[in-house]
A and B are shown apart, each in its own frame.
Chain A
Amino acid sequence: MRVVHYLNQFFGGIGGEDKADTPLEVRPGAVGPGRALEQVLPEGSEIVGTIICGDNFAAEHTEEITRQVVRQVEEWKADLFLAGPCFEAGRYGTAAGALCAAVQTQLGIPAVSGMAVENPGVDLYKHEVYIVDSGQNAANMREAVAGMARLGSKLVNKETVGRPSEEGYIPQGILRSEFVEETAAQRLAVMLLAKLNGEPFEAEVPINPAEPVPMPPPVADLSKATVALVTDGGLVPKGNPDKLPRAFSKVWGAYDISNQEGLKGEDYEVAHGGYDNRYVQEDPNRLVPVDVLREMEKSGEVGKLHNEFLSTTGNGNPLENSRRMGREMAERLKAAGVDSVILTST
């Protein structure tokens, strides 16, 4: 197994913070922690070369060094790319994560890094890169490189990678459903009793509350504002031109209402499969209140009703997807000069 190893200027033996601007350099064989790594790699493996770069240089020239590293790893015909361990060093971890991700996707060979859980590189790259939990400092060097070597050779040999706790990597936040002996009812009782007894327990899915969303300032004068209507209730024109699915929608639509005083059931249908749609079908204004906003536009209560409404089906959507659609909708509305939005949710 041919291994290429990436280090920052400190572990590469060039120097401390004062050498953080050192550009990328390449050395044959193992350097520094690479020697410890070589001892724990499976027999017949070697570190064919080491790439060293200063932390600041890497942070400021990420694209450039990514290109260089990918080319070098390819040139050395590596089977595996290892970066770090980086412990708590943030710039080092961020560069290591980016390089591992690039090598994996561009060359199709596995890559493994090692970081402390707190390293900012973890949040950025844990979903796509296996990152061994290195602990916080170099006192754990031996275990950290052993973990990286073990996981790396498993990946090279295409062996099944076990759970994070068994393999020593930081959870990637990927769910896999598995059959277990106990029913959900039994697990509920065990968890509740632990909670009642003040013993530790662990939720089966992460329960981190959403981060707060910054609140935009109030609309200064509604009589001059353009108001847009957005819904996650799945209202679409008859025939569902954008083919919004009943759930898990990856798409949203924008539908013209510029000539309409209100919405009529005969012109629309409801794509959303998660609620009883009969009432909205009967009168779509119950979901997208075009009728009353048109009145208010005429009376001057609001400046203008935006000439289209946006719609998607909001049920069962992964967060990442919802965020993307929200961003896209906001961009479209912003570009059209919309000041404010009423979002109706089902």
Chain B
Amino acid sequence: MTQVTAMVPVAEAVGSNRIVKACGIVYPVGDAALSPEEELELRRKLVREALAALAS
């Protein structure tokens, strides 16, 4: 399991082993400030990071 979270210290404190930094508490894998295309690209990047963590 990979945990994607903006609150990395909490994830670490509860013993998560695979952690990816999220964009924000209010949108872990998104960013409302970006254009839809940019946001989608960002989400692909984050999900790929999460997948890479699963595979390592």
Interface residues of A (CB under 8 A from B): 209-213, 215-216, 218-220, 222, 225, 227, 230-231, 233, 275-280, 282-283, 285-287, 289, 291-293, 295-296, 301-302, 340-346
Q: List 8 A-B contacts (CB under 8 A).
A: A285-B43, A286-B29, A286-B31, A287-B27, A341-B1, A342-B50, A344-B28, A346-B25
Given contacts A219-B55, A345-B4, contact A287 B13 (CB under 8 A): no
Assembly CA distance A240 to B43 (angstroms): 26
CB distance from B23 to the nearest CB of A (A): 8
Report the contact-size class of chain B (Cβ under 8 Å from the partner). Answer: 35 or more
CB distance from A331 to the nearest CB of B (A): 14
Neighbouring A residues of B16 by C-beta, 8 Å: 213
Contact residues in B for A279 (Cβ distance below 8 Å): 26-27, 30, 32
User: How long is the Cα–Cα vector from A286 to B2 in the complex, in angstroms?
Assistant: 16
Q: How far is the CA of A277 from the CA of B32 in the complex (A)?
A: 12
Which residues of B21-56 have CB atoms within 8 Å of chain A's CB atoms? 22, 25-32, 39-40, 43-44, 46-48, 50-51, 54-56
- Are the C-beta atoms of A286 and B1 separated by less than 8 Å? no
**Chain B residues numbered 1-17 whose CB sits less than 8 Å from any CB in chain A:** 1-7, 10-11, 13-17
Whether A219 contacts B54 in the complex (CB less than 8 A), given A345-B5, A346-B26, comes out as yes
Query: What is B's interface to A at a CB cutoff of 8 Å?
Result: 1-7, 10-11, 13-18, 22, 25-32, 39-40, 43-44, 46-48, 50-51, 54-56
- In the bound complex, what is the Cα–Cα distance between A295 and B56 (angstroms)? 22
Min CB distance, B18 to chain A, in Å? 8
Give, as a whole number of angstroms, the nearest-CB distance from A296 to chain B: 7
- Bound-complex Cα distance A308 to B5 (A): 21
Q: Considering the chains assembled together, what is the distance between the CA atoms of A341 and B4 in angstroms?
A: 11
Decide: B54 and A291 in contact? CB cutoff 8 A: no
Min Cβ gap B55→A in Å is 5
Q: Is the CB of A291 within 8 A of B3?
A: no
Chain B contacts for A225, CB-based, 8 A: 54
Given contacts A287-B28, A346-B25, contact A292 B1 (CB under 8 A): no
Residues of B within 8 A of A286 (CB): 27-32, 39, 43
Q: In the bound complex, how far is the Cα of B46 from the Cα of A285, in angstroms?
A: 12
Name the one of A218, A233, A282, A340 contacting B28, with C-beta atoms under 8 angstroms. A233
For residue B18, which residues in chain A have a CB less than 8 angstroms away from its CB?
Answer: 215
Set of chain A residues within 8 Å of B3, measured between Cβ atoms: 343-345
| A282 CA / B22 CA spacing, docked (Å) | 18
Residues in B neighbouring A218, C-beta threshold 8 A: 54-56
Other A-B pairs beyond A287-B30, A301-B51, A340-B2, 4, CB < 8 Å = A218-B56, A277-B26, A342-B50, A345-B4
Q: Give the Cβ gap from B16 to chain A, nearest Cβ, in Å.
A: 7
Kindly list chain A residues whose C-beta atoms are within 8 Å of the C-beta of B6: 345-346
Asked if residues A344 and B4 are in contact (CB atoms below 8 Å), the reply is yes
* Chain B residues with CB below 8 A from A278, complex form: 26
A291, B37: Cα distance in complex, Å: 13
CB distance from A14 to the nearest CB of B (A): 45
Cα-based distance from A285 to B55 in the complex (angstroms): 23
B26 close to A289 (CB less than 8 A): no
Residues in B whose Cβ lies below 8 Å from that of A219: 54-55
Cβ contact within 8 Å between B15 and A212: yes
Complex Cα distance, B6 from A220, in Å, reads 27
Of chain A, the residue at the smallest CB distance from B46 is A289
Q: Across the interface, which residues of B come within 8 angstroms of A231, CB to CB?
A: 28
Contact partner of A280 (CB less than 8 A), chosen from B15, B27, B43, B47, is B27
